[in-house]
């Protein structure tokens, strides 16, 4: 493998790695990130290797996947042995939900307002194992009322709290440390859907006390769709109910060591890698390392501050135009969501902005702006001018 990530072109406010990106303000990283030149270079390197070598390319790229695992572990303050490379955030939630040692009657606390990825799998686990799902309001965590309600529910007994690090609608960064502390004090564990955080909001799973964390690559990590990772804290027990052929110890020996090694009784792996159960997305994982290398080179803390400066410049102009901001004073993220003035249809605004070169989205009636490290502060006046033009 001759490819190595080269993040030297990654600089705050500089989109020179995004040649061909049409919107002048791509503020939609909370949805899908565009591919950088580094990501495309990684994809072509993988495709060229597989085109030339076929099967042996899989082994050629194996060291790259382990290198990626180490990069991702550094990004969240974990050990590489605690990470599994997965196909999507949804898959990390589903496999965790199916792999915990549940007992009938266990209670799961979920949050109303969360993206369904972090609710539906827990509901299915409840139906499968005879559990109970309790719903609290995510928006209550804007104040101490959310933690008070959580502690009250935990006092009634719970096995797990499922929470997103950042709420996709409002951009509210959840108080993960306090949530984990409350859960652990009550004998519960915490699963974090981190797809709206990792890459733009600093996350340290050890410092926070997170037990499980899943994150896909196509938003703030700026990779492609179809790649993700799952963190499981050392010592947490998994029951491998979703195991596949690669979940076995020495599961590939029969392919390389001659006759007599094809067996079905090899022990299953005892760590989170048991969930790496089948064929992998080699293209997606190479792309992810390319994008993560750029994020590492800049630094998540620096990216977070840059994005806050962008929001600080944009938010007052939106308020002046009658929009209502949902940005929290302290629990901030990469997302700035606003509600439109009365009588204004938010979908029409987003469509008009898109036609004028501003890419944003409208989750559940909000106008959502989500810039990342390539966005320049100089875009902001043009974004507001485009908004004025849309509204006539």
Q: What single string gives the DSSP state of each residue in 281-324? A: -HHHHHHHHHHHHHHHHH-HHHHHHHHHHHHHHHHHHHHHTT-E
The CA distance from 164 to 161, in Å, is: 10
Structure token digits, residue 54: 């076929």
Domain ranges of the chain: 22-35+299-391, 56-295
**pLDDT computed for residue 59 by the predictor:** 87
The CA distance from 380 to 313, in Å, is: 7
List strands edge to edge, sheet with 107-112. 83-86, 228-232, 212-216, 189-193, 160-164, 107-112, 132-137
Task: Give the CATH class of 56-295.
Answer: alpha beta
Are 379 and 48 contacting, i.e. CB atoms less than 8 angstroms apart?
Answer: no
What gap in Å lies between CA 295 and CA 199, rounded to an integer?
7
Residue 13 has which token pair?
Answer: 């406010």
| Distance separating alpha carbons of residues 43 and 191, to the nearest angstrom | 31
Separation of alpha carbons 305 and 200, rounded Å: 9
3-state helix, strand, coil in the chain (%, to 5): 45, 15, 40
pLDDT at 158: 98
What is the three-state SS of 110-147?
A: EEECCCHHHCHHHHHHHHHHCCEEEEEEHHHHHCHHHH
By three-state DSSP, how is residue 271 classified? coil
Domain boundaries 22-35+299-391, corresponding CATH code: 3.90.1150.10
Give the pLDDT confidence score for residue 1 in this predicted structure. Answer: 63
Give the model's pLDDT for residue 257.
Answer: 85
Alpha carbons 308 and 93: distance in angstroms, whole number: 29
- pLDDT tens, N- to C-terminus, the chain (392 residues): 679 999 999 999 999 999 999 999 999 999 999 999 999 999 999 999 999 999 899 889 999 999 999 999 999 999 999 999 999 999 999 999 999 999 999 999 999 999 999 999 999 999 999 999 999 999 999 999 999 999 999 999 999 999 999 999 999 999 999 999 999 999 999 999 999 999 999 999 999 999 999 999 999 999 999 999 999 999 999 999 999 999 999 888 888 888 888 999 999 999 999 999 998 999 999 999 999 999 999 999 999 999 999 999 999 999 999 999 999 999 999 999 999 999 899 999 999 999 999 999 999 999 999 999 999 999 999 999 999 999 98
Among residues 4, 359, 330, 335, which one has the least CA distance to residue 178?
A: 330
Identify which of 32, 303, 333, 386 has the alpha carbon closest to the alpha carbon of residue 167.
333
Largest CA distance in the chain: 75
């Amino acid at each position: 493998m001759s490819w190595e990530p080269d993040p030297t072109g990654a600089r705050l406010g500089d989109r020179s790695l995004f040649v061909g990106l049409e919107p002048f303000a791509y503020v939609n990283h909370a949805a899908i990130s565009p591919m950088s030149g580094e990501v495309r270079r990684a994809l072509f390197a993988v495709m060229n290797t597989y085109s030339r070598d076929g099967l042996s390319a899989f082994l050629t790229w194996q060291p790259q996947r382990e290198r990626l695992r180490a990069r991702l572990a550094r990004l969240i303050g974990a050990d590489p042995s605690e990470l599994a490379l997965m196909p999507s955030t949804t898959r990390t939630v589903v496999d965790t939900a199916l792999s915990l040692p549940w007992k009938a009657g266990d209670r799961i606390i979920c949050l109303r307002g969360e993206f369904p990825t972090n609710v539906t799998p827990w509901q299915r686990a409840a139906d499968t194992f005879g559990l109970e799902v309790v719903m609290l309001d995510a928006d209550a965590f804007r104040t101490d009322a959310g933690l008070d309600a959580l502690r009250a529910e935990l006092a009634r007994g719970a096995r797990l709290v499922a929470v997103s690090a950042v709420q996709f609608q409002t951009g509210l960064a959840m108080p993960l440390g306090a949530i984990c502390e409350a859960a652990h004090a009550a004998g519960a564990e915490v699963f974090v859907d981190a797809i709206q955080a990792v890459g733009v909001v600093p996350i340290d799973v050890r410092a926070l006390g997170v037990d499980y964390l899943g994150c896909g690559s196509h938003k703030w990590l700026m990779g492609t769709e179809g790649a993700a990772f799952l963190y499981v804290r050392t010592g947490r027990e998994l029951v491998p109910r979703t195991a596949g052929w690669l979940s076995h110890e020495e599961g590939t020996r029969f392919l390389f060591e001659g006759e007599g090694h094809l067996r079905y009784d090899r022990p299953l792996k005892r760590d989170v890698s048991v969930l790496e159960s089948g064929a992998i997305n080699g293209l997606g994982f190479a792309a992810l390392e390319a994008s993560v290398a750029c994020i590492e080179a800049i630094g998540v803390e620096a990216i977070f501050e840059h994005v806050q400066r962008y929001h600080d410049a944009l938010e007052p102009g939106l308020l002046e135009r009658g929009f209502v901001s949902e940005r929290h004073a302290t629990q901030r993220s990469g997302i700035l969501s606003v509600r439109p003035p009365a009588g204004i249809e938010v979908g029409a605004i987003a469509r008009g902005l898109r036609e004028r070169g501003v890419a944003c989205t409208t989750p559940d009636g909000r106008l959502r702006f989500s810039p990342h490290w390539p966005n320049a502060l100089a875009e902001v006046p043009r974004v507001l001018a485009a908004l004025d033009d849309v509204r006539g």
